[in-house]
C-alpha cells in the first residue's frame, strides 16, 4: 500500500476507499479545484464544491477565509466538528491541499486528502454526477487560527539570504525559479520581477507526486528532500506563486514525512516579487 511508512498515514485515503465510503453519514467529500468550473462538469456523488477564490479567501483584503465565514461554509456544507472531511481536486490536489492547510489552521480534527485527486478518480472510471447533494445544515465552531502553520512576509524577511537553521523551499517550476518566466505558461503574470527569494532551494511541487497523481512513496520523498539538506531537524518555509502549490509541499513535509516545523508562505512570489527593494536572486543558484 502506498501510504506505508508515512508519518501520518491517516491523512491520506485511496480512491477505492473514498468510493466505498462516499455515502457514510460521518463523511463529507469536498472538491476544490484550480479551475473553479471543473466541479460542474461532474463530481463525486455526494461531494460539495468549494470555490477557492470566493469561499476560501477573505473577500476584502488578501488573507485566508475569516473564521466566521469558514464556520458558515462548513455548516452549510453539512459539516460539524466531528465530520471526517475528504478533500480532492484537480491539478494533483493543489487546492485540496490549500483547503487542508486552512482547515488545520482553524483546528479541524479529521481532514484527509484523496490520493491522486480528481485525475485518478477520472482515470479509474469512478462514478460522477452533476447533481448537487441535499445537505443538512450543521453548526460548526472553528478554533482560533494556528499561525504556527503559516509564514508571513516578516518571517521570511528574517531568513532570506542567510537561512541558518531554516530551509526556504521554492516549489514553482524551474523557469519560474530562475526568472525566465513570471508565471506558469498561459496564466496571468502577477508579479513585477522574476526570480526567487535569496537562499531558496528549488524543489518543484511535481517532484512529490507520481504520474497518476498519487504521492510518491516515503523513501523517494525522503531522498528528494534530504539530499538537498532539507532534513527533519530544520525549520522549513515553502512558497510558490500564491500559496497553493506550496501547501501541497507543506502537506508532504509535515504529514507524510513528519517534519515538526513547516510553514506555508501564502504571500509567496506574488507578494515578494512585487515588493520594492526586496532582494531577488535570478538564475539557478540559491
Partner 1 sequence: MNILQPEEYKERTESIPPFEVRVMSYRLGATYHCTVYNLDPGAVIVRSDGTTRNEAETKALTRAKGRLASAAHRLNED
Active site residues: 240
Pick the piece of the chain touching partner 1 (CB under 8 A) from 61-69, 79-87, 146-154, 174-182: 174-182
Backbone angles phi, psi at 34, to 5 degrees: -60, -50
CB 1, min distance to partner 1, A:
24
Does 38 bind partner 1 (CB under 8 A)? Our answer is yes
CA–CA gap between residue 196 and residue 209 (Å, rounded): 23
Q: How far apart are CA 105 and CA 186, in angstroms?
A: 31
Closest among 157, 165, 103 to 265, alpha carbons compared: 157
Closest CA to 129 of 49, 13, 28, 16: 49
Which CB, 183 or 252, lies closer to partner 1? 183
Does 42 interact with partner 1 (rule: CB under 8 A)?
yes
Residue 87 or residue 111: which is nearer to partner 1 going by CB? 87
Using the structure block, give the residue that is written with the C-alpha cell 460522477: 128
Are residues 43 and 128 in contact, defined by beta-carbon separation less than 8 angstroms? yes
Smallest gap, in angstroms, from Cβ of residue 188 to partner 1? 10
3-state secondary structure of 142: coil
Residues 62-101 that bind partner 1 (CB under 8 A): 90-92
The nearer residue to partner 1, 172 or 196, going by C-beta atoms, is 172
Among 22, 104, 108, 119, binds partner 1 (CB under 8 A): 119
CB 238 within 8 A of CB 264: yes
Is residue 123 within the footprint of partner 1 (CB under 8 A)? yes
Q: Which residues bind partner 1 (CB under 8 A)?
A: 34-35, 37-38, 41-42, 45, 90-92, 119, 122-123, 125-131, 133, 172-176, 180-187, 189, 204-206, 245
Amino acid at each position: 500500500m502506498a501510504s506505508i511508512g508515512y508519518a501520518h498515514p491517516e491523512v491520506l485515503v485511496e480512491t477505492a476507499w473514498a468510493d466505498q465510503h462516499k455515502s457514510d453519514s460521518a463523511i463529507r467529500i469536498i472538491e476544490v479545484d484550480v479551475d473553479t468550473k471543473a466541479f460542474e462538469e461532474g463530481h463525486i456523488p455526494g461531494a460539495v464544491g468549494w470555490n477557492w477564490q470566493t469561499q476560501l479567501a477573505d473577500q476584502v483584503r488578501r488573507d485566508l477565509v475569516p473564521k466566521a465565514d469558514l464556520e458558515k461554509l462548513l455548516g452549510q456544507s453539512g459539516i460539524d466538528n466531528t465530520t471526517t472531511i475528504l478533500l480532492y481536486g484537480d491539478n494533483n490536489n493543489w487546492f485540496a491541499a490549500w483547503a487542508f492547510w486552512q482547515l488545520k489552521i482553524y483546528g479541524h480534527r479529521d481532514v484527509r486528502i484523496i490520493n491522486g485527486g480528481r485525475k485518478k478518480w477520472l482515470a479509474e472510471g469512478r462514478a460522477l454526477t452533476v447533481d448537487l447533494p441535499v445537505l443538512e445544515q450543521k453548526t460548526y465552531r472553528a478554533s482560533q487560527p494556528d499561525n504556527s502553520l503559516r509564514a508571513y512576509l516578516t518571517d521570511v524577511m528574517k531568513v532570506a539570504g542567510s537561512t541558518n537553521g531554516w530551509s526556504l523551499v521554492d516549489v514553482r517550476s524551474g523557469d519560474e525559479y530562475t526568472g525566465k518566466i513570471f508565471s506558469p505558461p498561459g496564466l496571468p503574470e502577477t508579479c513585477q520581477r522574476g526570480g526567487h527569494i535569496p537562499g531558496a532551494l528549488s524543489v518543484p511541487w511535481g517532484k512529490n507526486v507520481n504520474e497518476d497523481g498519487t504521492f510518491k512513496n516515503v523513501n523517494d520523498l525522503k531522498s528528494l528532500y534530504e539530499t538537498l539538506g532539507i532534513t527533519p531537524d530544520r525549520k522549513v518555509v515553502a512558497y510558490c506563486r500564491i500559496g497553493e502549490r506550496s501547501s501541497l509541499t507543506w502537506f508532504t513535509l509535515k504529514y507524510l514525512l513528519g517534519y515538526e516545523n513547516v510553514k506555508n508562505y501564502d504571500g509567496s512570489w506574488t507578494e515578494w516579487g512585487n515588493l520594492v527593494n526586496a532582494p531577488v536572486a535570478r538564475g539557478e543558484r540559491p
